[in-house]
Structures are given as structure tokens and as C-alpha cells.
Amino acid sequence: MEVTVLGCAIGHSAHGGYDSMVTLQINVEDPDGTVHMIEPFGPFDVPIDGNVNNGSSIRRLIFGMWSADSRVSVTGRSYEWDGNDITASSSWSVIDHTENSYNNPYVFVLRDGDTPPTLPGFADQASAEQFVAPYIDDATGNMKLGTNQAIFLFELGASSTSSSGYDLQDAVVLLTLGENLVTLDANAAAHD
């Protein structure tokens, strides 16, 4: 499978303003309930080493053989800074919620044909719709994805859907399943 961070936008005004750190974990659940936790971007629990909120799109390929009826999900977590040494792990703590189920108010999953959310980004951040724009069909305004793809939109800061910070683009992650590297590369090239 291929996991691509299409972008992140979450920050805080405290301590002069800073970008929150975000870590991600991929979960593959076998039909018998065994869960494989994969950390393709660095450790989920160590934000200074696993942070993906760094302004760049990051793509990782994950090799593994899983049965066709395995369930795949993505877990996102954000961290806040205490104002001390920004490079020290001890200065970062988990923001109150970590989201790993999908299609709850804080994790929105987009598949082919779905309508992207129209929420504005918090402050001057780009909106969720702008993050997924390369995957929107101009004619319909709906998502244009392969049957092997899903985009996970995470809200990792706001604890209420009525908060102005609720914008569903704190992390935007594209998951693409493939039988082999060749099909995954062909898929990625189509969006270069």
C-alpha cells in the first residue's frame, strides 16, 4: 500500500504561535482481529521524530501481504508545545483526543464519488477541499478516486464540531492499496 500525506494545517497561537506536531499510524486488521500497527513516518508516540506537519507532502510505500478482507484505517494524533525547548520530546504533549475510527465527526473518509466538505480552513489555513483539489472531478465537484483509494480528513484539535477550529484538514492522508509496486507507481504518476 501507499500512504501519502497530502498536507497538514494545525497550529496554536500560544507561545508566539507555532505549528502543532502531528503523527500518524496505519492499522491493518486481519479477519481474525489481529491488528498490525505500522508507523511509516516515524514513531507515533515521539512527535519530534514522527512529525508530519512540516509543510511537505510525504509519500511512503508499505510492503506487506494482507488478505483481501483485512480492514485498513489511519490513526492521527496531534501534540501541543509547552513553550520550553521546542526540540525536546518532553516539551510536547498529546492534545486531548486521538482519532482512529472513521466517519465520526473528527475523521471524515472520502471515497470515489463522495462530496468533499466545504468547511473553511481555520484562520488563514487552506480548506480541506483545497487539500484534496487534485482528486476532485471538475465536472461534478465530487471526488475522483480509484476503488483502491481513500482520503482520510482529520480534525485533531477542535473538540466540538461547532468550533471555528473544526476544519477537517489538520491532517489529510491518501491511502492507496495495490497488488505491487508497479501499479502503485502508475497510480501516483497519474497525479504528478
Q: How many CB atoms lie within 10 A of CB 90?
A: 9
154 binds Ca ion, rule: CB under 5 A: no
Q: Which is nearer to Ca ion, 72 or 126 (CB)?
A: 126
167 binds Ca ion (CB under 5 A): yes
Q: Which three cell numbers stand for residue 43?
A: 514513531
Binding of residue 122 to Ca ion (CB under 5 A): yes
Q: Which of residues 10-49 bind Ca ion (CB under 5 A)?
A: 10
Using CB under 5 A, which of the segments 43-51, 98-106, 128-136, 165-173 binds Ca ion?
165-173
In angstroms, give the least distance from the CB of 55 to Ca ion: 14
Among 73, 170, 172, 175, binds Ca ion (CB under 5 A): 170
Q: Which is nearer to Ca ion, 99 or 167 (CB)?
A: 167
Question: Pseudo-torsion of CA 50, 23, 95, 108, nearest 10°?
Answer: 170
Q: C-alpha distances in angstroms, 168 versus 16, 24, 84, 188?
A: 24, 15, 28, 24
Residue range at the interface with Ca ion (CB under 5 A); choices 17-25, 64-72, 79-87, 114-122: 114-122
Identify which of residues 13 and 34 has a Cβ nearer to Ca ion in the complex. 13
80 binds Ca ion (CB under 5 A): no
The least CB distance from residue 46 to Ca ion, in Å, is 22
What b/e readout covers 26-63, taking b as 16+ CB neighbours within 10 angstroms?
bebbeeeeeeeebbbbeebeebbebbbbeeeebebeee
**Cell of residue 115, nine digits:** 462530496
